[in-house]
Chain A
Amino acid sequence: MNVMDTRSTSALLYLDGVHVSFDGFHAINNLSLALEPGEMRAIIGPNGAGKTTMMDIITGKTKPDEGTVLFDGKTDLTRLDETRIAELGIGRKFQKPTVFESQSVEDNLLLALNVDHSVRGTLFWRGSRGEAEQIDRVLETVRLKDVRRKLAGSLSHGQKQWLEIGMLLAQDPKLLLVDEPVAGMTDVETHQTAELLKEINRDHTVMVVEHDMTFVRELGVKVTCLHEGTVLAEGTIDQVSSNDRVIEVYLGR
């Protein structure tokens, strides 16, 4: 149905000629982008460049008016809803940290684990050693082991960001979409987050949207600059930041 016969691209995520408009406003305009498996890509761009809308399209929250969005070279994401896309292995961290505030850090991770998500499966669920170990590993990675029993709502802003990244790890997706992970973080936390994402990138494909240029520089990966819903420049951070058009629109000079 939505699975094509043959793989048409080697890219894990492939967007081609995508258009979206809201009430006549062209949020995404002929956007084309390809992410290879194992890659980490930073997406930059001024406000309103369409970064978050692009993530909405990939995760099924927004349907594009036209264009192709392929996952793993064969699955058409434009036909699926959020749940199906999450099941395929695309995880998303929101711009504003969104964790389940009234539940403990552990329970947040438990909910994120990539296990049986059916009503019956969760009703008769019982914890297993494997799940507990996986939660321990994630807690270790995101440095939240000491606060595992605390309510997520009582965490600091930075810790919430990490918890949400931890939930992505527990979900163990093939592709992680990370929207502004260091917004509101201190310099130390920003540095730690860059380290964390690099660690995660060892066995996951990652797409990071971020404003913070120091952070993007620290990641040291290929950068795509969006402007008015289309790709303006692509390359290393030095190439992109020396591009005349990028300087013009991004830095407002």
Chain B
Amino acid sequence: MAHVLTRSLDRAATIFVLVVAACGVLIPLSNLLLPAGSALQVPTYLVALWGKYVCYAILALSIDLIWGYCGILSLGHGAFFALGGYAMGMYLMRQIGTRGVYGNPILPDFMVFLNYSKLPWYWHGFDMFWFAALMVLVVPGLLAFCFGWLAFRSRVTGVYLSIITQAMTYALLLAFFRNDFGFGGNNGLTDFKDILGFNVQAEGTRAALFALSCLALILAFLICRAVVSSKLGKVLIAIRDAESRTRFLGYRVESYKLFVFTLSACMAGVAGALYVPQVGIINPSEFAPGNSIEAVIWVAVGGRGTLVGAALGAVVVNYAKTFFTSGVLAPYWLFMLGALFVLVTLLLPKGIIGTFNSWWDQLGSKRPNADSAAREDGVTEPKMAE
């Protein structure tokens, strides 16, 4: 086990982990300890906003793991994120208890409103945090496993796979919109009161959730690094670049795809679960196909196939989204997002971090005696062997 972890921490990875850890510690401390209005104090609304970005960064990592390293372009990853979010939302709903509008100790408000006589069977157990936390991993993981088992075994790849992942998230969107599906229909789950006994609105809870999100981001990053820096990572890249060649070498390609796809869905689920208490609501719009596509754009902008890039892309694009959608340019955000995607594809096909890496390598190869042979990018003139 130990060698898997040590191998995964190269210099860039260490820097990333330290930066996220510093944010996870300093931002909550500044929010809680410094007096409000002080120049260095991070206001609570920003803590919640950045906490949201951190959750998006985890989602971006999960997409990069399968797309950047294994060539599986999922345009439905928002579904796993939303399912994790619903699992957490169900726990938060059950915590409301008699404080709801109707004061029913068992049934959440929307069920009383819709004349439910008793709790649907699939809501049982969600009053316990450990059970909900388990479901955050199990539900997205199980869906991804079943979906992947069918798709990868039938060798559905490329654009066909992307289309059926879109169909999957769209189908879930429609299902969750229905009132009789038992998840609050159109309105989703909201009006949360507390989590593990702490008020979700309280500053301390928000700061703690932010710190936890940073911790989850670090863990997700380390898991991804461990996967991609192992021999399994090399096999994934081999599958991405030449799938049938990999098969002829005796690798069971579908098992590898199933493994990363399921792992990735579990990570997306955790991201959703941390997202819901910070934004205070989960509704079917989280399943919207557009959300999943947007998440893919974050990865493309940051740098597909670079984990740090995926996380960075999520933060940068979402910061831009917050910035532009709050001003006069708000109606044009989707056009800007589309333009961004086109521009990145044309001008920075490797994304921010990928471009930075090639630039850094070129700089390295110009220095005398630099050992850059290991990272040449295939742009050098091929030489004939004697």
Q: Which residues of A contact B (CB under 8 A)?
A: 59, 61, 82-83, 86-87, 91-92, 94, 98-104, 107, 110-112, 114, 117-119, 122-126, 143-144, 146-147, 149-151, 153-156, 158-159, 167, 171
Contacts and interface: CB of A to CB of B under 8 A. Distances in A.
B250 A107 contact: no
29 contacts: A82-B248, A83-B247, A83-B250, A83-B251, A83-B252, A83-B253, A92-B248, A98-B242, A100-B237, A100-B241, A101-B378, A102-B378, A111-B235, A111-B249, A118-B255, A119-B259, A122-B235, A123-B4, A123-B227, A125-B232, A146-B385, A151-B377, A153-B378, A155-B382, A156-B385, A159-B384, A159-B385, A167-B249, A171-B249
A82 B374 contact: no
B377 A91 contact: no
A236 B32 CA distance: 87
Interface of B: 1, 3-4, 226-227, 230-232, 234-235, 237-238, 241-242, 244-253, 255-256, 259, 373-374, 376-380, 382-385
A122 B245 contact: no
B371 to A, nearest CB: 9
A99 B3 CA distance: 28
A167 B250 CA distance: 12
Residue in B227, B241, B380 with the greatest tally of chain A CB atoms within 10 Å: B241
Contacts of B256: 119
A102 B237 CA distance: 8
Which 6 residue pairs across A and B have the least CB separation, nearest first?
A86-B250, A125-B231, A122-B232, A153-B378, A122-B231, A82-B247
Contacts of B384: 156, 158-159
Given A91-B248, A100-B242, A167-B249, A149 B237 contact: no
Contacts, number: 108
Contacts of A123: 4, 226-227, 230-232
Given A119-B259, A151-B376, A156-B382, 16 more contacts: A82-B248, A86-B249, A94-B245, A100-B241, A100-B242, A103-B234, A103-B237, A103-B241, A111-B235, A117-B251, A118-B252, A123-B231, A123-B232, A124-B4, A144-B385, A151-B378
B230 A122 contact: yes
A128 B380 CA distance: 32
A156 B246 CA distance: 21
A145 to B, nearest CB: 9
Given A82-B248, A122-B230, A122-B232, A102 B385 contact: no
A92 to B, nearest CB: 5
B239 to A, nearest CB: 9
Nearest to B236: A122
A141 to B, nearest CB: 13
A124 B235 contact: no
Contacts of A61: 244
Contacts of B241: 100-103
A154 B382 contact: yes
B385 A150 contact: no
B306 to A, nearest CB: 13
B368 to A, nearest CB: 18
A122 B231 CA distance: 5
A154 to B, nearest CB: 4
A167 B253 CA distance: 18
Contacts of B382: 154-156, 159
B257 to A, nearest CB: 10
Given A117-B251, A147-B385, A171-B249, A110 B231 contact: yes
B374 A104 contact: yes
Contacts of B231: 110-111, 122-123, 125
A99 B242 CA distance: 8
Nearest to B241: A100
For B4, B259, B378, B379, which residue has the most chain A Cβ atoms within 10 angstroms? B378
Contacts of A112: 249
Given A107-B234, A154-B380, A156-B384, A98 B250 contact: no
A140 to B, nearest CB: 12
Nearest to B249: A112
Contacts of B242: 98-100
Contacts of A149: 373-374
A117 B234 contact: no
B242 to A, nearest CB: 5
Contact of A100 (B1, B3, B226, B245): B245
Nearest to A124: B4
Contacts of B378: 101-102, 151, 153-154
Nearest to A107: B234
Contacts of A146: 385
A86 B248 contact: yes
B384 to A, nearest CB: 5
Contacts of A103: 234, 237-238, 241
Contacts of B374: 104, 149
With most chain B CB atoms within 10 A of its CB, the pick from A91, A110, A124 is: A124
Nearest to B238: A100
A149 B380 CA distance: 14
B58 to A, nearest CB: 21
B155 to A, nearest CB: 10
A246 B327 CA distance: 78
A83 to B, nearest CB: 5
